[in-house]
Amino acid sequence: MSSCYRVNWQDFAKRIPREEVQRHSDIVREAVLKIDPAVQVYTMGSYRRGAETCGDVPSITLARPDLRSI
């Protein structure tokens, strides 16, 4: 296996700064809103709880308030 496919497990153990999680969230939000401006995008997990660092990029939940679930 070439080195570009090897996983550095130490990277997974590092906490992610809140600012970096915000950048990921902004990228997803921008892409989603290009597709459907009515969608609301929420970044969840420890980010939503106000943590300064996160163990991963939290789930990003999409919602359309004008649609009802069945």
Spans of all domains in the chain: 3-63
Q: CB neighbours of 13 closer than 8 A, spacing ≥ 6? A: none
Tokens at 17, concatenated: 């700064």
CA torsion through residues 35, 42, 30, 23, sign:
negative
pLDDT of residue 16: 92
CATH superfamily membership of 3-63? Beta Polymerase, domain 2 (3.30.460.10)
pTM: 0.72
What is the Cα–Cα distance from 57 to 49, expressed in whole angstroms?
13
64 has a pLDDT exceeding 90:
no
Return mean pLDDT, the chain: 84
pLDDT for residue 21 is more than 90 = yes
Site of tokens 């999680």: 21
Separation CA 70–CA 59 (nearest Å): 23
